[in-house]
Amino acid sequence: MTNRQVFAPLSLVATGLVCGRGGMALTRALDFSVTSGQCLLLRGPNGTGKTTLLLTLAGIVAPLEGTQALEGTDAEAGPQFHYCGHRNAIKPRLTVAENLGFWAAVNGATGLPIAAALEQVGLDRLGDLDAGYLSAGQSRRLALARLLVSLRPLWLLDEPTAALDSEGQDLVTRLIDAHLDMGGLAIAATHDPITLPDPSRMETMVLGARNSGGPP
Amino acid sequence: MIAFRAMVARELRLALRGGGDVLTLVLFFVIVGAIVPFAVGPDRALLARIAPGMVWIAAFLAMLLGLDRLFRPDHEDGSLILLRQADLPLSAVVAAKLIAHWLVAALPLIVASPFLAMLLAMDEPTFWRMLVSLLVGTPALAAFGAVGAAVTVAIRRGGLIAPILIAPLSIPVLIFGTGSITASQSGAAMLFLAALSLMAVALAPFAAALAISSAED
């Protein structure tokens, strides 16, 4: 696509994946595949299993049926995805830079340096501030910066634009677009419309809709 | 190794910036020891005889108090889910937390133990044996505590269940801990205590990691 490909070609393939919590199925059997440079948007009303699907893909919730696999990765390489959930995993007593530096250390500082990542998400002047003073939107930005400091090909984003202003929603779009440029994959559950500059990279899967029988 | 060190450093920072959490535990430890003379009366001979047990009970209770902050804050703010996907294996994450937990929840107690020895009318040889037995035995308490905290982390209000779960596990630690302070056969008890500690510390990170990763969020 571009000359900035960083990740080896990958594809996330799910076959007959049924996700649910507490033994109750929330989704129909899902068959989909996402390949490098593609973004899959999950849409659908509350309670239709968007978060559960992301947690299942992250391996935190076991699927009720079916399988999912990230094809093309080295099995020894460690986790290949970033999960960005509702909770921001920010410690209020550490500074913004310390929070980010910690994740860079435990996930491998393979991506942007701390300062550059903070600049990307618009927190560049707040590095020394205690993270407890950040607003909800700023906390969200800090959570997104975590995806930038360690390179991992698959992003699982749960409501990435929650609490963000319209500029922040553009930021999420830009970050996803840049990630796809590098050959990454993204799966995002969202209520806000995310429109990438190149619509052909984006697919939408509606969960919970009665008459949408098949995958995109 | 960088990741492991960063994990320990983060835990220590969080504990030390916790606004007196560490001091609370130390004060609790000393206070438990301080109320004993009031409860049993100021009989120096009796106090000296029960002092080893009292020290261990105070240490045990104080370490139980600190258990809840081992995993729960990380569980609540979503960090624990992310730590499950860190490049650092979860057992190493737990081991790092265990080391930090011992440093902030057990080491300060050991530093404060001379006060307790004074309040409980301990003589000097007993005091030194107590110091060594606390140093050797508290890692086992921390390790059992970590397993209990990990098992109960996903349970809402599970903070009260963990102490009940781990109390039976801690009985041997208290038996050999107290035994290694009282003069007769203190050597053998100390060796048992060391063996307990080594085993608990070696196995606890794996057990706790298993408990955490098998809990659905």
Per-residue pLDDT tens for B79-102?
999 999 888 999 999 999 999 999
Phi, psi of A33 (to 5 degrees): -140, 140
Is the pLDDT at A163 greater than 90? The verdict is no
pLDDT at A213 over 50: no
Q: Which band of pLDDT confidence, cut at 50, 70 and 90, is reported for residue A4?
A: low
Beta strand ranges found along A97-195 (DSSP E): 154-158, 185-189
Mutate to test the interface with B, among A87, A134, A150, A154 (most CBs of B within 10 A): A87
What is the β-pairing status of strands A185-189 and A39-43?
parallel
What pLDDT is stored for residue B134 in this prediction? 95
- H-helix or E-strand containing A16? strand A11-18
What does the pLDDT read at residue B92? 95
Chain A residue numbers touching B2 (CB-CB < 8 A)? 105
Please tell me the distance in Å from B2's CA to the nearest CA on chain A: 6
Distance from CA of A211 to the nearest CA of B (A): 31
Count Cβ atoms below 10 Å from residue B88 Cβ, excluding itself.
21
Task: Report long-range pairs for B86-89 (Cβ below 8 Å, ≥24 apart).
Answer: B86/A79, B86/A106, B86/A107, B86/B3, B87/A78, B87/A79, B87/A106, B87/A107, B87/A108, B87/A150, B87/B3, B88/A106, B88/B3, B88/B4, B88/B7, B89/B209
The reported pLDDT for the residue numbered A109 is: 87
Q: With 80 as the cut, is the pLDDT of residue B112 above it?
A: yes
What's the confidence (pLDDT) of residue A49?
87
Which residues are CB-neighbours of B133 under 8 A, at least 6 positions away? Answer: B177, B180, B181, B190, B193
The answer, yes or no, to whether residue B61 has pLDDT greater than 80, is: yes
Structure-model confidence comparison of residues B189 and A1, the more confident one: B189
ipTM score of the complex? 0.86
pLDDT for A212 beyond 50:
no
Chain A's closest residue to B13, CA to CA, is A94
Give the residue numbers in A contacting B (CB under 8 Å), as ranges.
21, 55, 58-62, 78-79, 81-83, 85-91, 93-94, 98, 101-103, 105-108, 146, 150
d(CA B56, CA B173): 9
Q: Does residue B16 belong to the interface with chain A, where contact is any CB pair within 8 Å?
A: no
pLDDT for res A2: 45
Q: For the residues B173-191, what does the mean pLDDT come to?
A: 88
Query: Cα angle at B141 between B148 and B37, to 5 degrees?
Result: 120
Beta partners for residue A70, in sequence order:
A12
